[in-house]
Structure 1
């Protein structure tokens, strides 16, 4: 049977329409098939001053990434939940990310407590997880799928004790928070303090909801021989310690942890913060870094973008999130795949990555890759950060 010219054109039109439909369908499928990266942070609650800049940074980074074409030719979808600082909620959200959202990777975990609650979920699911929390327990012992970006509490202790030793301090008082971070850092400090010839004469603590630390600080004040005081802690507790310290007229040098390396701490502590020393990443003193510092360009770029977009001062905690997402994206690009195992392998082989927190080199035995040289020892002066010794 012969087909007329009109009939042939009709058939071609149908075929063309089908092809266009298939093409559009493929485009829509591609647009609906993003690379899903999960996150659970404490954007509200007692750790909000940590989690809020993390959440803002992650959203900002993904927006900018998608403007540039996404990842592996696909858009990136950030699946973000706020745990409010509650470890149980964090674990529930982690399970949701794995089972319902089907994420291929995870960047989050504001606090040590929420991170530790989520680790079993991602380890069991074999999904790479970069934590934004500080405690060394997160990566020691090494877990196959768990990494982190902030310096460990052990490294912070070592940086502080290096400075104390250089100043000739051999006897100190300690007052620590009883939260996950505070307990962990206290334990790590006690493990390494002997290497520096320093002894703890008074060892006090406080709870997360305590609003007055003067009884503990009075014990430190009234103990003869103490030359300096160390406060391992994060959140509002250290700011209260700092204010009470000044109210009691204690003039001994006060060292805080890297857990308070943000303008929020300075604002909460007020004028009492002047003179406080702490280890912190280069980000806090970006404009004060030497021109030939390898991190200067990176930290200045992040600082400029974040502050312009949010109207808020940059914080080290947002920096941890920036490095976490950068490292994860770099791993996905290196792996040329969204297969979680391949992403994990690429992360573990990170070498000489210049971030805002430090220069990362990871290995099968080290899922952080930072040493004490990535810390700056800072002094708070006039409500601002000064690099100690400059």
Structure 2
């Protein structure tokens, strides 16, 4: 049933891509920057840019499986743009975001992309690895607008226009297993559980755990689940019977909370570590909260929102002032970081007097030592590679802003250094 569902999703995405690509082609005679020219200020412009404004698109999930993340990412980007415009914008132009909520629905995601693509310069947000992968051929072939997705699958590497910020899921999982080996007692000969979503995200993470296990002499006990599976009782029972000494979870926050809560209840008291998409601080207010603080860790592509850095402290203060009713989480960091990277590319393109899609793409390639203020330096000069191979390890802690403290500073494991992403 799971495989049939996966094939149906793939077939649906393929059919929708064909339809949306046809619709996009019929709406314009050419692709990319054919609507542009040169302004009175001598700056070349193209789609999404005129003398007054730069239009950017946001394809988010505010009502689906990643609703909490989508809201935080979007609000952080709105905050960044508001501050950027208050400082004069880019090339004398304001930056404007057009937001579409796809609710993690493939048809809505692809329809949203088709609607916005002709109107915007690029996308500082596109949530959902499967959806971004579905439009990759179109982005690279005819559209050529910069996309900075909130997705870390290695399948997105290799595109000059879709650029992954931080380590991919496979590398992140290798770093997570390294943490378990070095600091949580996992040893050669042990069994490592891995609970993962079917599809691009979970299966890319699984490649990482398999590789790390092969290098360290571990055995991986696999448990594939669907995004609609919220009760992890059966998976925990299977992992306990198998005698696992640690567990990796590549799923959503709800699945991670269920797994850790059930494991604690049945006395499977082993360390559990999730990928960066598998935690939300709101979980600490649930019954699983105490177990999460004791047993759970998360590998992330940056330090958390509660990090002790000047940028993090300022962002916390600014976000709280702008959205006093909303909780802090690492979606704020992801959204802010992507908007900042896009903003830096825009500023460089402005200096080069080329605010076309091609000009912004070239500008991004020059950011080879970008520090977003969250503990890592990013290199965007090679489209074949993620911008970083480092991962920080964080631990849930309700006493810290954002609900997580740093358990291990950003680093890349020896195994991750030698690994080819997507391999």
Instruction: Give the corresponding residue for 1:165.
Output: 181
Instruction: Give the corresponding residue for 1:255.
Output: 273
Q: What pairs up with 1:309-320 in 2 under 5 angstroms? A: 309-311=322-324, 312-320=326-334
Cα-to-partner distance string for 1:230-261 (whole Å, 9 max, x where unaligned): 21222422222222222222111222222124
Q: What pairs up with 1:283-302 in 2 under 5 angstroms? A: 283-287=304-308, 296-302=309-315
Q: Tell me: CA distance 1:386–1:53, structure 2 relative to 1, closer, same or farther (3 Å).
A: closer
Cα-to-partner distance string for 1:311-351 (whole Å, 9 max, x where unaligned): 23332222112111111111121122211111101112212
Instruction: Give the corresponding residue for 1:153.
Output: 169
Q: Tell me: CA distance 1:184–1:151, structure 2 relative to 1, closer, same or farther (3 Å).
A: same
Instruction: Give the corresponding residue for 1:113.
Output: 130
Q: TM-score, normalised by structure 1?
A: 0.82
Indicate the SS of the match to 2:99. Answer: strand
Cα-to-partner distance string for 1:52-111 (whole Å, 9 max, x where unaligned): 101111212212222222111011111111111112211111111123x2x112111122
Task: Find runs of 4+ consecutive structure 1 residues off by over 4 angstroms.
Answer: 381-384
Gaps of 5+ in 1: 1-29, 288-295
Instruction: Give the corresponding residue for 1:86.
Output: 105
Cα-to-partner distance string for 1:188-231 (whole Å, 9 max, x where unaligned): 3223432233321x21122211232212211111224x221221
CA contact (8 A) 2:59 2:126 kept: yes
Instruction: Give the corresponding residue for 2:96.
Output: 77
Instruction: Give the corresponding residue for 2:248.
Output: 230
Higher relative contact order (CA 8 A, sep 6+): 2
Query: CA shift at 1:356, angstroms?
Result: 4.4
Gaps of 5+ in 2: 1-48, 410-423
Is 2:363 the partner of 1:346? yes
- Specify the structure having the higher radius of gyration (Cα): 1
Cα-to-partner distance string for 1:19-39 (whole Å, 9 max, x where unaligned): xxxxxxxxxxx9973111111
Is 2:78 the partner of 1:59? yes
Which residue of 311, 321, 325 maps to 2:339?
A: 325
Instruction: Give the corresponding residue for 2:29.
Output: none
Which residue of 369, 372, 380 maps to 1:362?
A: 380
Cα-to-partner distance string for 1:93-151 (whole Å, 9 max, x where unaligned): 1111123x2x1121111221232233334323111111111222222xx1121112243
Instruction: Give the corresponding residue for 1:180.
Output: 200
Provide the C-alpha distance between the structure 1 equivalents of 2:282 and 2:355, rounded to a whole number of angstroms.
37
CA contact (8 A) 1:87 1:117 kept: no
Instruction: Give the corresponding residue for 1:307.
Output: 320
Instruction: Give the corresponding residue for 1:4.
Output: none
Indicate the SS of the match to 2:355. Answer: coil
Instruction: Give the corresponding residue for 1:137.
Output: 155
Indicate the SS of the match to 1:286. Answer: coil
Structure with higher helix content: 1
Q: Tell me: CA distance 1:389–1:63, structure 2 relative to 1, closer, same or farther (3 Å).
A: closer
C-alpha RMSD of the superposition:
2.4
Q: Tell me: CA distance 1:165–1:211, structure 2 relative to 1, closer, same or farther (3 Å).
A: closer
**Number of positions where the alignment pairs a residue of Structure 1 with one of Structure 2:** 346
